[in-house]
Amino acid sequence: MAGKRRAAVLGSPIAHSLSPQLHNAAYAALGLDDWTYDRFDIDEAALPGFFAGLGPEWAGLSLTMPLKRAVIPLLDEITGTARSVEAVNTVVLRPDGRRVGDNTDIPGLVAALRERGVEKTESAAILGAGATASSALAALSRICSGEVTAYVRSERRADEMRGWGDRLGVRVRTADWADAAHAFDAPLVISTTPKGTTDDLAARLPQRVGTLFDVVYDPWPTPLAAAWQQRGGSVLSGLDLLVHQAVFQFEQFTGDRRPVLDAMRAAGRAALG
């Protein structure tokens, strides 16, 4: 479609989102001068009205909390990846008017780990049990041949994680958050908790550690990530996830598969200072 093309990230709150910087940097790098990417503070109640006002210039939407499940009834189709975790973070607005939902967090996690040389693991640990933890489990279903241990704060959360494991075909064992330091014996640890949650665990690392994927990106490094690096372990941040999932979104929105990862990562680092 010729003419101006639009995309945006929706959520509430949304002012902190780095997505505009990442996507607009990709447009600039490839000379896509007709493309713009914005942010809109939209909650569940406002989402249907926003969708109703979208014109033909719109190509795609990125979704953050609290919209990843609320958007599903508004879509014509969702991919198997999104359906596997009942969460959509990407909506492709097709020229024929169809709205297709996908989840790029899952392949984004896999791609970020692959970039660091982690293509397979015999076991893994997850810290936390929220929406990001289910995406982490889905990613691990692709690369983990053994058991995943999830460290959680309540029996309800434990039941949820075991349920996700059954659904995704992953062997999940749950453990109490009080024992979270035992997670660090695993070759791969994915921390899905908000900033500050793991700070007190930084002093409890063993002498030898494997790979840590901490989904926080601001402030960075977290105390846990800093301590992990001091032990000589490999560390990935939330920015690694953010840029890799954004690449998949960019490709779906634009249809352009030229490399943009480096441009997005540079923009993200610049935005974070």
Which residues share a beta bridge with 78?
A: 101
CA angle 166/210/177 to nearest 5° reads: 50
C-alpha pair distances (Å), 154 with each of 47, 165, 191, 195, 214: 32, 17, 17, 19, 21
Catalytic residue at 68?
Answer: yes
Token pair 């713009």 is at which residue? Answer: 36
CA-nearest of 115, 147, 144, 118 to 259 is 115
Catalytic residue among 4, 68, 120, 195: 68
The beta-strand segments (E) located in 64-208 are: 77-78, 90-93, 99-102, 124-127, 147-152, 171-176, 188-191
| CA separation for the pair 103, 99 (Å, rounded) | 14
Q: Known catalytic residues?
A: 68
